[in-house]
Amino acid sequence: MPAGPAGQRLQLLFEGVYMNAEVWVNGQSLGRHPYGYTSFWYDVTDLVKPGVTNVLAVQVQNEGINSRWYSGSGIYRHVWLTARAPVHVAQWGTSFTTPEVTAAAAQVRAATTLRNASAQAAEVMLVTRIRNAKGQEVAKTESAQALAAGATVDVAQRLSIKSPERWSVDRPYLYSALTEVRQGGRVVDQVETPIGVRTISFDAQNGFRLNGQPLKLKGGCIHHDHGPLGSKSYDRAEERKVELLKASGYNALRCSHNPPAPALLAACDRLGMLVIDEAFDSWREPKNPYDYHLYFDQWWQHDVASMVRRDRNHPSIIMWSLGNEIPERGKPAGVKTAKMLGDYIRGWTPPGPSPPP
């Protein structure tokens, strides 16, 4: 590692490791992550030594029968090492919704989680800009914010886009939201988030409506593998999968039975494919001896938060699925667990709770 600016924080993010991963940096364990389909990250600042060779080790324990489909094994999605300023936007710390959309204007609610990882209090300016597909700025707002040393805060903002272009399956128009953290007049951190302006609703009379218009979901359920390419997530393979299904008449996908790779959701945003993002294939009762039921009670909050916080800005996502063919369905325990999961997901709507430790 080359020596970087003083005070920078290093973050190590895994998009997916199947399964039971434990991670070490220079012989120091960072922890373990059982679920093979949710993304996870660590702050490795204090363990990485500049100017010398550092050793990153990942052990995967994929033992026993733990899946009902071909899961693959090992590090099958991207791994990222990023350097952040001490005061920065937290991992998956941006949230954008469009609760009110008319032909004249779209009201955009932005919620940003800021983190001060330094030992000193900080005064920052949070600037949020929205640009159209041509790169032209169409909305801007800024908020002054004080952060105590070591603090994490949620900042709510509102913006308005005049004469908005709406995201739809036939015209998947994307805006870009640029979130900037300014300290002493200088940009110290920024995050770019693709967003779509659209409204969705479900009711007994009209079914599903996108932008106020009834729309039937025509699609199917997909697994994460790519046939002869195996389970490794190649960005182009994720995109090609969506292209082929779109050309076959699909307008909707269900990610069975787990959160997908980020590249697939990005392709759905660009190409106009609706998505049902699914959390689990089992809760407390097993389908296989070594599946997720072994970890549910200890890990469900962490994994649900990872799914929702990572994926919540995708305009393609219209629904969160709590699970697939759950053995507890139809039982009092299943009703209780479903309500617990649903309430927790709804709790992540802006501004949402602070990130889990």
Residue 355 preceded by cis peptide, ω within 30: no
d(CA 63, CA 250): 36
Q: Give the pLDDT confidence score for residue 1 in this predicted structure.
A: 85
Domain of residue 41 covers 9-84
Say yes or no: 93 and 184 in one domain. yes
- The CATH number of the domain where 156 resides is what? 2.60.40.10
Q: Are residues 93 and 58 in the same domain?
A: no
pLDDT at 350: 53
Banded model confidence at residue 46, pLDDT cuts 50, 70, 90 = very high
CATH number, domain of 290, equals 3.20.20.80
Mean pLDDT value of segment 319-343: 97
**Average pLDDT score over residue span 229-252:** 98
Residues 53, 181 within the same domain: no
Pick from 30, 49, 84: which residue ends a domain? 84
Same domain for 303 and 274? yes
Tokens 């922890």 label which residue? 31
Say if 22 falls within a structural domain.
yes
Which one of 131, 166, 195 terminates a domain? 195
Q: Say how far apart CA 234 and CA 74 lie, in whole Å.
A: 15
pLDDT at 6: 75
| Among candidate residues 204, 181, 350, 177, the one with its CA nearest the CA of residue 269 | 177
Catalytic residue flag (residue 325): yes
Give the residues across from 41 on adjacent strands: 13
Determine the longest span between alpha carbons in the chain, in angstroms.
65
Question: How many domains is the chain partitioned into structurally?
Answer: 3
pLDDT at 349: 64
Q: Does residue 161 share a domain with residue 107?
A: yes
Helical pair 262-271 and 235-247, crossing angle rounded to 10 deg:
40
pLDDT in tens, 60-100: 999 899 999 999 999 999 999 999 999 999 999 999 999 99
Can you give the pLDDT at residue 4? 72
Question: Would you say residue 352 lies in a domain?
Answer: no
Residue 4 lies in a domain: no
Q: Could you say which of 84, 104, 135 is where a domain stops?
A: 84
Mean pLDDT across 144-166: 97
Note if the pTM is more than 0.75. Answer: yes
Of 48, 21, 164, residue with least CA distance to 99: 164
Candidates 123, 142, 192, 325; catalytic one: 325
